Structure 1
Amino acid sequence: MSAMQRTHVRHPLVAAIAASSALAFPGLAAVAQERSLTVEEVVVTARRREESLQDVPIAVTALTGQELALRGFSDISELAQSVPSVTLEPTRATNTTLTAFIRGVGQQDPLAGFEQGVALYLDDVYLARPQGAMLDLYDVERVEVLRGPQGTLYGRNAVGGAIKYVTRRLSDEFEGRVRASYGAYDQMDFVGTVSVPVSDSFRLGGTVASFQRDGFGDNFTTGEDQYNKDILGYRLSAEFEPSERLLMRLAYDKTEDDSNPVAGWRPFPGAASGAPVLGDVFDTTAGAAVLPTTAGINGNNSVENEGWMVSVDWQLSDTLTLRSITADREDYTESVIDFDGLAVPDFDAPVVYDNEQFSQEFQLLWNTDRVNAVLGYYYLDAEASNDFDVVLGQLVPGGITAYTGGVVETEAWSVFADVTYELTERLSIAVGVRYTEDERRADIFRGNYLGTGSPFLGNDSAILLAATSDYEADQTYDDTSPRLNISYRLTEDATVYAGYSKGWKAGSFDPRGANLLSPEVEQGFDAEELHSWEAGLKATWWGGRALTNIALFYSEYQDMQIPGSIGVDGDGDGVNDSFVGTVTNAGESEISGIEVEGSFLFTENFSAQYALSLLDAEIKEWIVAGQNVADQRAIQNTPEEMAFLALNYDVPLAGGDLRLSGNWSYKGDITQFEIANEFIDQEAYSLFNASITWLSADDAWLVGLHGKNLADEEYRTAGYCFGFAATSGCPSALGLEDNTTVFFGPPRTWTATVEYRF
């Protein structure tokens, strides 16, 4: 009898802790011998079928909605504190745009023309753009994080890994949840969910969520809050299940983010204005939102994203299932970016992002006692556009503006297959292959104007000085990616595996490139690929009371796509009066590491979870002007060390169960961009969090108090380096004020939450 088949846990909170531990760290099946404790089987769909997480021979971590609630998670970025080799940060400290890296692979810039190195899925729908991807955690059943290339099982090829956000299925009984929270900085959150069975075969559901919070700091120029939060979202869903063999799901969601623009903190005083360095890193004097520089978008800062999805699962026979996933998504962003962070219009940028995508995926799944196979077809039709002005308002009287407008269209299709065959009861082999074809079409225009803003963003009186880009181009990229995995069950509770997989991402066009100066930008930048070898162990031991999962990997990363921006001195006076985008296909990098995660159930009341990753990420080849400058470059957003430790203790209280928990997370040194800079990079740091939660015996009430960053650590999450080389060490300067700015993670906060389930 396996550990998952033993006696059911009687103590509700022990069960919750054990189950959440199992999901926080793959496949926990821990039992305490003295009470024959067990946990429910952890079921995930990492390999496109339902199976125990411990049986999945790849590096994958999953957390349930219950665990997220017990730990007081607010958004998806907090996963990075406890998941090995993962960095998730809000782009420019926004509340909705995500910068994601896994095992050294990701994408720093959210501009059109660039796809993410980490694939994000919402109910099996690939999100092509990072705007709106910083998901607040509500209406969630679980979140799965898969590390390493994913392509032979998924619609879109992912080089670094994939994050799957899985929403709750609707209940066949009337039920609902109401959660209200209040916390530091006048945080006020509300989430309400209801599921209504209209008939035996038809169910309707809906969720509405509001997340509100004052800022961590102040904007002394506009009078508004800095780092505040103002998000409203809702989700509507329906399920039709006329028989045991047919299930149809329909969902629509929409989110509106009206949070204030955030400007980074300046480590240097204004070189021209003399503006002093502020004492609080969350404060600013940024004035772009009320200056003429952003009049073209009325100083507006907002993100709207919405989408619908229809999925059909049709079980053709006992072994064969046909699945269809049809989806359409779009988002629209108007954003105020104040690069100088000052009241003067030295270096401001109004930005508009407009993205649309349609996708269709078909899967044919064949599952027998010894064979599990997936055959799939995926189609994506996407359009990403951006329009933005870079306004250098103090350079000359009236200002100079560099406008960039670009549309990049993607039409991609792929076929993929993956077969797992059990050669014996202990030995399994999985073989997969994928063929992808991506066509990119670009329409780019860039121009320099005399005036504060361009005609494209509202300034009809601007005078065109020179066009720097004006072209249309298209390229088609294709690739074949294989996967091989062998797993062997040493015992009933221990499995070893080894495998190889290839990740690939198509090339594209940089809308910021100046083709009139450098005609080669019309050719676009090249595709990148990653070859990854991985070996691992998944084991339950100490009589079923402990779990240790280990993964070792080695990757060769070729033609890594690195976007950047540099200043351009158009008139030769020694001062940069424009900028140009650059994309480097960095020749070759090597990334290797070890990842360890697991749990201990010391007693029926006391448990612990841990995680660790040690990475060696090194660029081997980076050619500049015929010279290899690899020793002067670093892989972005990839700390070499990560550690996590959580301790939980539970006791009966007031007819329910009280859980006391605390955790510590550690991140090693982080280089924000490819060139190290002490003013925007983050040295190693630790975060301490703690929670007290009470769960009623009937699971109807959950009350929690959560404290985060209890040591009030100041840590950098992003930055811009356009300051002077002599002071800030930046490779390229723009503006006259020594423009280096830094964004920070949240300070010490607390949140009290009450949830009622009916």
Structure 2
Amino acid sequence: MSLRFYHPSADGTAVRRAGFCVSLSVLALAAPAQAQTEDRTSATPARTSEDSAQGTGVALEEIIVTAQRREQSQLDVPISVTAFSQGEIQRRNFQGVDDYFAVTPNVSFTSTGSRDRKSLSIRGVTNQLSPDNNIRPQTFGFYIDDFNVAAGTANPQIVDIQRIEILRGPQGTYFGRNAVGGAINITTNQPSQDLYAQGSVEYARFDTVDFYGIFNTPVVEDVAAVRFVGRYRESDGNIRNVNPIGGGNDSEYKYGKGSVRLTPTDRLTVDFTAAYTDEVVGMREGIPSGVLAPFSQNLYGGIVDGAIPDEVGFWPENTNRVNFNRPQEVGTEFYYLTGRVRYDAEHFTVTSISGYIDSKTFLQGDIDGSSLDLFFETKPIERDSLSQELRVQSYDNRWVDWTVGLFAARDRGNTEQETFAGADNPFGLPEDFQVTSSFSDAEVESYAAFGEAVVHITDRLDLTAGGRFTYEKQDIRQFNTSAGQINNLVEDDTDFTDFSPRISVSYAWADALTSYATVSRGFKAGGVQINPDLDDTAYAPEILWNYEIGLKGEFFDRRLRVNTALFYMDWNDLQTEFAFGVVDENDVISFFSGIENAASARSLGAELEVQALITPHLTLGGGVGFLDAQFQDYDDAFVEGQIVDLSGERMPNAPRWTLNGVADYSRPLFGDTEGYIRAEWFFRSSMIADKRGLIFEGFPWEVPSFHNVNLRAGLTRGRYQFQAYIENLLDANYYTNAYEKAFIGGVHLEPSFQTFGFRFTVTFE
């Protein structure tokens, strides 16, 4: 027999002709009440979220965001943005991106087996490329204190966070990197001149233990301060391996961060930060579905007729058991270093952000997912990114606010994938024989100049105009081996330039009622890919036009807040991935993957978010997202080895409806003890996880709709806090994604589960 393996580097794929995509949306607005007339330009929140919840005031907390790289009330920003304050983050017990995406309209995610293997989607704009690419595709900006960590992780740690913002639509004129689909902007607490310490411990189901600690202290009065954060979390996980080797999705998570703030003068602030994360999970999380994908059918056809239950059965009868005979391991280790310098001149601010991130992800061990010893693999991916941003912004300008900036980055990545035969492999190969391998590395250089100006035409009318110029160059090198022979050594490079404008008009009908209209362009560079079976090894850039109108208002003396937006997005050359494997009559194994362009696509939809202070003790809130995203012209899609017409089909990872609601009741109980109880609910309608779900019908390719209910309660007395929770209160049985890895038990599903626990926190200040 002979064996071949074609894997065109994690960055690469076939070029397809591109087109054009459009989107429109309609949303019913909450009936406006009498608008309040207080000044809303202060950058300091009127009250904390805890105050609002505990009824010590009579108005909702003012939401402050930095979406335009300056502190502003959310009402003043002509962008559709969902923001979570520090108090809300703590009460909801956010652990990662999946938690805050679940309660944000028109966003979604799929996961393929671990915390960091997430594919995010905002308004149907999704990174439809593999998380195993040499260079992580930059569909979204993922900023922590102005530094983009997307090159190293899709799910950074959530601890000691001041604010999380999810920005919808292209964000290129204020942010360092291109962000064609939107941005996640995380602001952490910085070192201060106050002595502060906090410790917290959580215990939850599946023997889950979570510790974190925060320590802040001044070093030199009014000049220097340091802040340290540490976290450790371990869990037995909700999935058990019944095989004698044991294990399952048990996990261990470590996180540490140290920050130094220097303020040698009133005008100069210098911040240095170092952060480290290490996560290891005992398996790619998933339960066998019993449905074999075409490649698995060909690969295992000579062993069994269909998927094998393997003494654990299939979903939904089996929701927590697997049976694999070799250990598995999946995880991520990364660190980043940043230096941020801010100088406040008389009429403008100069900010410099320097950063370096180094990331190592790995996937190794059993890949057939069964008690048979068929195949196993190793797949380490090493990435690093170095970036520099320089930004100048005006402030205290009566007529115009402006921002200009320069950005440069160098990203590198290296993949070494090897697949080996086990003792029971279907081809009679010696155990540990290397079946296939792929070695590749890539380097991307990016340069950009960006700027934006907000002209205050009148006291109520603002005109915003900006743009971004981008140059990007890519270099890729790869070779494969098959049956121990090196082949297909290829090197290639390409470059791209782009100018993306943005224009917006906003009008303040009253001091707390603003509407806006925005037109913006997003850009995601194309690339080159290595595959001897592709006629053209280039793929085109992805271009998106976003048309949006919105309204933001506060009514009834700031007891009711309404944010709503309608949008229509239009794509050219949407980048999508294809991957499939075949086994021919001569037992030749071939695996192909690549990137192609859908000629055109469009997305239209609407968002509505409402928050109401019903009584001094009761707050209600919720959000609704409607999305209609589909391919418009895509008659040559490559799916599972065949050319199909996907024109008019819905786009993957784009549920039509996303809804959420929350009710929070808080009040003093006795003495200085205060308590709260809150119920949370969210819903996601059915969706297709990837393109294969558009040609294969039914289970498990279409991910069904699901909803979830969480219940939380807590007590606060002085420096002590106690929280208890039940997540998935109704023990709903659903799955959030379906993915394939040549499993003999079929496509694997990530199952839902119920968990409950408590957290105790003590604060010293």
Given the superposition, is the C-alpha separation of residues 12 and 263 from structure 1 closer, same or farther in structure 2, using an over 3 Å criterion? closer
Residue of 531, 540, 556 corresponding to 2:545: 531
Is 1:356 aligned with 2:414? no
Residue of 239, 242, 247 corresponding to 1:225: 247
Q: Is the 1:439–1:474 contact (alpha carbons within 8 Å) kept by the matching residues of 2?
A: yes
Q: Distance in 2 between matches of 1:717 and 1:48?
A: 34
Residue of 474, 482, 487 corresponding to 2:493: 474
Question: Where does 1:4-15 land on structure 2 (aligned, <5 Å)?
Answer: 15=51
Q: Distance in 2 between matches of 1:287 and 1:364?
A: 58
Q: Is the 2:57–2:616 contact (alpha carbons within 8 Å) kept by the matching residues of 1?
A: no
Is 1:340 aligned with 2:340? no
Q: Distance in 1 between matches of 2:275 and 2:653?
A: 31
Shift of the alpha carbon at 1:187?
1.1
Greater Cα shift, 580-589 or 632-641? 632-641
Gaps of 5+ in 2: 1-36, 292-299
Deviations 1:712-758 (Å, cap 9, x if unpaired)?
A: 22332332247xxxxxxxxxxx68x474222234x111120111111
Q: Is the 2:40–2:512 contact (alpha carbons within 8 Å) kept by the matching residues of 1?
A: no
Question: Where does 1:402-417 land on structure 2 (aligned, <5 Å)?
Answer: 402-417=436-451
Q: Distance in 1 between matches of 2:580 and 2:321?
A: 27
Shift of the alpha carbon at 1:10?
12
- Tell me what 1:460 maps to: none
Shift of the alpha carbon at 1:47?
0.2
Q: Distance in 2 between matches of 1:667 and 1:505?
A: 27
Q: Distance in 2 between matches of 1:188 and 1:178?
A: 14
- Tell me what 1:139 maps to: 160
Deviations 1:9-38 (Å, cap 9, x if unpaired)?
A: 9998861428xxxxxxxxxxxxx9xx9723
Given the superposition, is the C-alpha separation of residues 359 and 222 from structure 1 closer, same or farther in structure 2, using an over 3 Å criterion? farther
Q: Distance in 2 between matches of 1:518 and 1:12?
A: 57
Q: Is the 1:568–1:578 contact (alpha carbons within 8 Å) kept by the matching residues of 2?
A: yes
Greater Cα shift, 94-103 or 624-633? 624-633
- Tell me what 2:758 maps to: 752
Question: Where does 1:107-146 land on structure 2 (aligned, <5 Å)?
Answer: 107-108=127-128, 109-110=130-131, 111-129=133-151, 131-146=152-167
Q: TM-score, normalised by structure 2?
A: 0.86
SS in 1 for 2:53: helix
Q: TM-score, normalised by structure 1?
A: 0.87
Is 1:550 aligned with 2:569? no
- Tell me what 2:411 maps to: 382
Residue of 493, 501, 514 corresponding to 2:512: 493
Shift of the alpha carbon at 1:337?
6.3
Shift of the alpha carbon at 1:602?
0.9
- 1:281 aligned partner, one-letter code: T
Q: Distance in 2 between matches of 1:314 and 1:12?
A: 29
Question: Where does 1:574-593 land on structure 2 (aligned, <5 Å)?
Answer: 577-593=589-605
- 1:175 aligned partner, one-letter code: Y
Q: Is the 1:181–1:752 contact (alpha carbons within 8 Å) kept by the matching residues of 2?
A: yes
Is 1:372 aligned with 2:401? yes
SS in 1 for 2:69: coil
SS in 2 for 1:551: strand
- Tell me what 1:207 maps to: 229
Shift of the alpha carbon at 1:114?
4.8
Deviations 1:602-651 (Å, cap 9, x if unpaired)?
A: 11111101100011111111132898712474311110001111111112
- Tell me what 2:193 maps to: 172
Q: Distance in 1 between matches of 2:59 and 2:577?
A: 49
Is 1:397 aligned with 2:397? no
- 2:573 aligned partner, one-letter code: D
- Tell me what 1:103 maps to: 123
Q: Distance in 2 between matches of 1:365 and 1:145?
A: 22
Is 1:286 aligned with 2:324? yes
Deviations 1:256-306 (Å, cap 9, x if unpaired)?
A: 1122122532222886354432543232112343xxxxxxxxx65442100
Deviations 1:482-539 (Å, cap 9, x if unpaired)?
A: 00000001112211100100111101234xx422x33522xx3211011000000001
Deviations 1:654-676 (Å, cap 9, x if unpaired)?
A: 32211110011000112100232
Aligned length: 693
- Tell me what 1:148 maps to: 169
SS in 1 for 2:539: coil
Given the superposition, is the C-alpha separation of residues 630 and 355 from structure 1 closer, same or farther in structure 2, using an over 3 Å criterion? same
- Tell me what 2:661 maps to: 645
Given the superposition, is the C-alpha separation of residues 288 and 533 from structure 1 closer, same or farther in structure 2, using an over 3 Å criterion? farther
Is 1:661 aligned with 2:662? no
Given the superposition, is the C-alpha separation of residues 152 and 142 from structure 1 closer, same or farther in structure 2, using an over 3 Å criterion? same
Given the superposition, is the C-alpha separation of residues 354 and 213 from structure 1 closer, same or farther in structure 2, using an over 3 Å criterion? same
Q: Distance in 2 between matches of 1:486 and 1:552?
A: 15
Greater Cα shift, 494-503 or 539-548? 539-548
SS in 1 for 2:747: strand
- Tell me what 1:240 maps to: 262
Question: Where does 1:182-197 land on structure 2 (aligned, <5 Å)?
Answer: 182-197=203-218
Gaps of 5+ in 1: 19-31, 290-298, 450-462, 723-733
Q: Distance in 2 between matches of 1:401 and 1:709?
A: 43
Shift of the alpha carbon at 1:222?
5.4
Q: Distance in 2 between matches of 1:343 and 1:628?
A: 36
- Tell me what 1:65 maps to: 86
Deviations 1:192-225 (Å, cap 9, x if unpaired)?
A: 0000101221001111101111110211235433
- Tell me what 2:621 maps to: 609
Runs of 4+ in 1 over 4 A off after TM superposition: 3-6, 8-14, 625-628
Deviations 1:164-200 (Å, cap 9, x if unpaired)?
A: 1211012211111111111111111011000010122
- Tell me what 2:24 maps to: none
- Tell me what 2:528 maps to: 509
Q: Is the 1:4–1:38 contact (alpha carbons within 8 Å) kept by the matching residues of 2?
A: no
Q: Is the 1:307–1:330 contact (alpha carbons within 8 Å) kept by the matching residues of 2?
A: yes
Q: Distance in 2 between matches of 1:416 and 1:11?
A: 35
- Tell me what 1:17 maps to: 53
Q: Distance in 2 between matches of 1:406 and 1:114?
A: 14
Given the superposition, is the C-alpha separation of residues 473 and 345 from structure 1 closer, same or farther in structure 2, using an over 3 Å criterion? farther
Q: Is the 1:408–1:509 contact (alpha carbons within 8 Å) kept by the matching residues of 2?
A: no
- 1:563 aligned partner, one-letter code: E
Residue of 328, 334, 342 corresponding to 1:313: 342
Residue of 300, 303, 324 corresponding to 2:332: 303
Q: Distance in 2 between matches of 1:346 and 1:509?
A: 33
Is 1:596 aligned with 2:608? yes
SS in 2 for 1:242: coil
Given the superposition, is the C-alpha separation of residues 481 and 135 from structure 1 closer, same or farther in structure 2, using an over 3 Å criterion? same
Greater Cα shift, 8-17 or 600-609? 8-17
Is 1:629 aligned with 2:645? yes
- Tell me what 1:727 maps to: none
Given the superposition, is the C-alpha separation of residues 11 and 124 from structure 1 closer, same or farther in structure 2, using an over 3 Å criterion? closer
Q: Distance in 2 between matches of 1:585 and 1:173?
A: 54
Q: Distance in 2 between matches of 1:412 and 1:220?
A: 48
Q: Distance in 2 between matches of 1:144 and 1:15?
A: 21
Q: Distance in 2 between matches of 1:710 and 1:592?
A: 33
Given the superposition, is the C-alpha separation of residues 300 and 628 from structure 1 closer, same or farther in structure 2, using an over 3 Å criterion? closer
Shift of the alpha carbon at 1:54?
1.6
Q: Is the 1:72–1:706 contact (alpha carbons within 8 Å) kept by the matching residues of 2?
A: no
SS in 2 for 1:67: helix
Shift of the alpha carbon at 1:39?
4.6
Q: Distance in 2 between matches of 1:628 and 1:748?
A: 40
CA RMSD of aligned residues (A): 2.5
SS in 1 for 2:171: coil
Greater Cα shift, 44-53 or 215-224? 215-224
Is 1:713 aligned with 2:732? yes
What percentage of aligned pairs have identical amino acids?
23
Q: Distance in 2 between matches of 1:151 and 1:102?
A: 15
SS in 2 for 1:171: coil
Is 1:566 aligned with 2:570? no
SS in 2 for 1:93: coil
- Tell me what 2:34 maps to: none
Q: Is the 2:726–2:756 contact (alpha carbons within 8 Å) kept by the matching residues of 1?
A: yes
Q: Is the 1:339–1:720 contact (alpha carbons within 8 Å) kept by the matching residues of 2?
A: no
